[in-house]
Amino acid sequence: MADDLLSQLRKMTIVVADTGDIDAIRRFEPTDATTNPSLILQAAQLKGRRERLAEIARRATDLDDALDAVAVEIGSEISSLVPGYVSTEVSARLSFDTDATLARARSLIERYARHGIGPERILIKIAATWEGIRAAQQLEREGIHTNLTLLFSFAQAQACADAGVTLISPFVGRILDWHRAQSPEADFSGDRDPGVQSVKRIYEHYKGHGYHTIVMGASFRNAGEILALAGCDRLTISPALLGELADTRGTLERRLVPEDAETSGLEPLDEAEYRWHMNEDAMATEKLAEGIRKFMEDQRRLEALLGELRRA
């Protein structure tokens, strides 16, 4: 009998848990774990955390201090359960401010150090805006590893590789969402999925040019998208889809192979070229802006919760 699909996937791709749920991480034993404001909000609302959150909120100097303290506390707990990276996100409010992003990233690394966790274990997540990519480039020079998120376009991926970032998180499901809204009757199954196609193109470009930046597919809507990217460097997967893969048996074919990548000559993008390519890509422009707004919406909800606890 064939092994379950999750076990087979682990043999060709590093599996990452896309959650802040400690119980789910214990169950699936991923190599890495990623969080974002939405996942931190979910984790903060779990039973048993409220008393600790109240303690953090009351000790904090302000809401920014409280937010980062909560993120690092949850990230530190996760780090004891996974052997690899833990991703912690800089506030989406700073997505267009390079200097503020740098300051916040350094502060997060200092917070982790106070928990006994070194920078080699942490990925600072930053939205893949031009300003965010510039911040990531400087952080990498300082030995701080970065994960560029909310990545929807080849231009974003190209600029991130040129900047030498550690890892990118190209979003699959949100790209599919956009195309489904534009063409509700179209068949986007399997290799027709535009999100899958986007990650494959990025992966082949990176491998063909010898970039060391890790490609980690993210934001999956169904298990089929994951199976279509088997062989990608990393895939960050929700607990629900991890469970589905673990419960399904069959034969999993490797779909992405580094040796199959072809080299194409592309010059590094400057700011004007990056912004022009983004302007030409309506999907990427809209989904990047929407993603930043969504993260901020959940961050504001977490700020409100922490504010209530500070006053209680």
Q: In this structure, which long-range contacts are made by residues 107-110, counting pairs with CB atoms below 8 Å and at least 24 apart in sequence?
A: 107/68, 108/68, 108/71, 108/72, 109/144
Name the strand (E) or helix (H) holding 188: none
CB 231 within 8 A of CB 249: no
CB 217 within 8 A of CB 199: yes
Q: Is 17 helix (H, G, I), strand (E, B) or coil?
A: strand
Percentage of residues of the chain with pLDDT beyond 90: 79
Among 137, 88, 94, smallest CA distance to 117 is for 88
Q: How many C-beta atoms lie closer than 10 Å to residue 242's C-beta?
A: 24
Average pLDDT over residues 172-197: 96
pLDDT of residue 36: 81
pLDDT of residue 265 exceeding 70: no
User: Which of 38-52, 202-216, 266-280 is predicted least confidently?
Assistant: 38-52
Q: What is the pLDDT of residues 98-125, one digit of tens each?
A: 999 999 999 999 999 999 999 999 999 9
> How far is it between the farthest Cα atoms of the chain?
60
Whether 287 is catalytic is no
Q: Rounded to 5 degrees, what angle do the CA atoms 34, 40, 43 make? A: 105
CB 294 within 8 A of CB 127: no
Among the options 125, 200, 207, 287, which is catalytic?
A: 125
pLDDT of residue 2: 74
pLDDT of residue 220: 97
pLDDT of residue 84: 97
pLDDT of residue 1 exceeding 90: no
Percentage of residues of the chain with pLDDT beyond 70: 97
Name the strand (E) or helix (H) holding 169: strand 167-170
What is the residue-averaged pLDDT of the chain? 93
Q: What is the rounded CA–CA span in Å between residue 306 and residue 135?
A: 28
pLDDT of residue 300 exceeding 90: yes
The secondary structure of the chain in percent helix, strand, coil, rounded to multiples of 5, reads 55, 15, 30
Give residue 297's pLDDT band: very low, low, confident or very high (50, 70, 90): very high
Residue with tokens 């990519």: 133
pLDDT of residue 266 exceeding 80: no
List domains and CATH numbers for the chain.
Answer: 5-307 (3.20.20.70)
Q: What is the pLDDT of residues 110-168, one digit of tens each?
A: 999 999 999 999 999 999 999 999 999 999 999 999 999 999 999 999 999 999 999 99
User: Which of 186-195, 269-278, 300-309 is predicted least confidently?
Assistant: 300-309
User: Which of 11-20, 45-54, 191-200, 295-304 is predicted least confidently?
Assistant: 45-54
pLDDT of residue 261 exceeding 70: no
pLDDT of residue 63: 87
